[in-house]
A = this chain, B = another copy of it.
Amino acid sequence: MTELVRVPVAALRTTVERAFAALGMPAADAAISADALVEADLMGISSHGVSNYIQLIYAPGLRSGRITAAPDIRVVRERGAAVLVDGDNGMGHVVGHRAMHHALDRAREHGVGVATARNSRHYGAAGYYALLAARQDCIGISMTNADSLVLPTHGKEARFGTNPIALAAPTGEEPMFLLDMATSTVPLGKIMLAARAGQSIPEGWAADREGRSTTDPRVAFDAMRLLPLGGTYEQGSHKGYGLALLVDILCGALADGVHRGGSVGGSVGHFFCAIDVEALRPLAEFRASMDELLRLMRSTPRVDEAEPVIYPGWKEHHARIDREANGIPLHPKVVEYLADLCAELGVVSAIA
């Protein structure tokens, strides 16, 4: 296995920021996109960090104009605590960041705020936006729909995306709670990884072209048919499917009416919600309750002594500590790609 290179956080952020600015993004927006990607890497959500989508989506999208580099992001409909944002096909990070801040502003005033976004693009890790809210003492919720990749229960063609749900909540002394989950059993990345490693995959992850669960990752990758959380009907896949529809209702029907299962396009919709804790409970009490809840989980007697009970956000917290100290682990090819990109764009890479 190739040894990963550890790249210091600040150098990586600066480099990505410079590249995005050179690709036409306003300076403040380039900083947001770079932050969204580096934050994902800091939390160990590498699939949505700097490794994949700069090369696959962001750089080519900005170059071709498929993604608007300097979008006119604006509120197009609103009532009190609820706003609909049009993203003008700008970078999803920037649209999402703006929309979540609208939700936060409304939450300060009304206790809760909701923002939907239409005409946006791939926004990276759903949890990033939820965390923006949690760091401001709100409960943050973030969802997005995505290109068609997942089968409905009993169906053999993909009809919706991995449609993630994220929720973050502030704590007292415990690491912050952060749930960031695809509503499919696994994301596509896990299938690709197994295919590359020549390993079989468990039943319930993905299907062949006939919609039947397969353990061969190459068959699964060829078919591009993931299974909803639960895997089979008997194991509750109708629940994973139902959650994916919940996401498509809030991000599709409620935002822009586009359903990616029908006509796959580049644009997507998002949903954000912020609840100001203090509106409903004294913040200090809430923090103490969160600590109590999460410690109750961590203190659960274990099935296997070697495998502790943790909670969503725990691994991310510890990945962050490691990466802030030691840098972000990247494949040498990614480092090389970033160097080439900077050279092409005529900007100076900050990575040594």
Contact = CB atoms under 8 A, between A and B. Distances in A.
Contacts of A280: 77, 79, 82-84, 114, 116, 254-255
A252 B155 contact: no
B79 A110 contact: yes
A309 B152 contact: yes
A204 interface: yes
A100 to B, nearest CB: 15
A252 B286 CA distance: 9
Nearest to A207: B303
A253 B289 contact: yes
A249 B303 contact: no
Interface stretch (A40-48, A66-74, A228-236, A344-352): A228-236
Contact of A156 (B169, B249, B302, B308): B302
Interface string A282-323: 000110111011001100111110011111100000000000
Interface stretch (A7-15, A31-39, A237-245, A325-333): A237-245
A249 B296 CA distance: 13
Given A82-B276, A154-B307, A177 B293 contact: no
A262 interface: yes
Contact of A77 (B154, B185, B281): B281
Considering the complex of A and B, which 7 residue pairs feature the smallest CB-CB distances, nearest first?
A82-B111, A80-B110, A155-B300, A79-B111, A79-B279, A257-B289, A211-B303
A277 interface: yes
Contacts of A273: 112
Given A111-B81, A296-B159, A249 B169 contact: yes
A310 B238 CA distance: 9
Interface in A209-268: 210-212, 229-231, 234-236, 238-243, 245-246, 248-250, 252-255, 257, 259, 261-262
Copies of the chain in the assembly: 2
Contact of A292 (B235, B262, B303): B262
Interface in A147-164: 151-157, 159
Contacts of A311: 152, 241-242, 245
**What is the predominant secondary structure among interface residues of chain A facing chain B?**
mixed
A137 to B, nearest CB: 12
Contacts of A210: 303
A139 interface: yes
Given A156-B303, A259-B296, A169 B253 contact: yes
Contacts of A229: 229-230, 236, 239-240
Contact of A157 (B83, B202, B301): B301
A80 B111 contact: yes
A147 to B, nearest CB: 14
B77 A80 contact: no
Interface in A109-168: 109-114, 116, 139, 151-157, 159, 165, 167
Interface string A163-181: 0010101000000010101
Given A154-B304, A154-B307, A297-B152, A254 B80 contact: no
B309 A253 contact: no
A116 B275 CA distance: 11
